[in-house]
Amino acid sequence: MTFETLQKADAEKTLHVTIPVDEAHRQYRLVIIVEPVAFDAGTRTSPCKSWPPGFFENTVGKWVGEFERPSQGEFEKREDL
């Protein structure tokens, strides 16, 4: 199981993590890597690297017109099996 979370430290510089597991009363190995993330809400940059900067600002709400589905043509007639 892989568990990933992005959290903000509280005023005491502490992170609180609760991780759900599959079985009670069992030992689990945890590997915890704590590293700061370059994220500035003022510049609206995301810590996620999968979307280019400005992606959502430039796409969300940009659809103009009606949603239309063009004709799909005639259904292909196949031989019986």
Question: Measured between alpha carbons, how far is 74 from 76 in angstroms, rounded to an integer?
Answer: 6
Question: Measured between alpha carbons, how far is 16 from 62 in angstroms, rounded to an integer?
Answer: 39
The answer as to whether 33 is a domain residue is yes
The answer as to whether 79 is a domain residue is no
Q: What is the pLDDT of residue 11?
A: 93
23 Cβ neighbours under 8 A, 6+ residues apart:
none
44 Cβ neighbours under 8 A, 6+ residues apart:
57
Q: How high is the mean pLDDT of the chain?
A: 79
Q: What is the pLDDT of residue 1?
A: 73
Range of the domain at 30: 1-65
Domain count, the chain: 1
The answer as to whether 77 is a domain residue is no
The answer as to whether 32 is a domain residue is yes
The answer as to whether 2 is a domain residue is yes
The answer as to whether 28 is a domain residue is yes
The answer as to whether 74 is a domain residue is no
pLDDT digits (tens, 9 = 90+) for 13-29: 998 888 888 899 999 88
pTM over 0.85: no
The answer as to whether 38 is a domain residue is yes
Question: Measured between alpha carbons, how far is 14 from 55 in angstroms, rounded to an integer?
Answer: 32
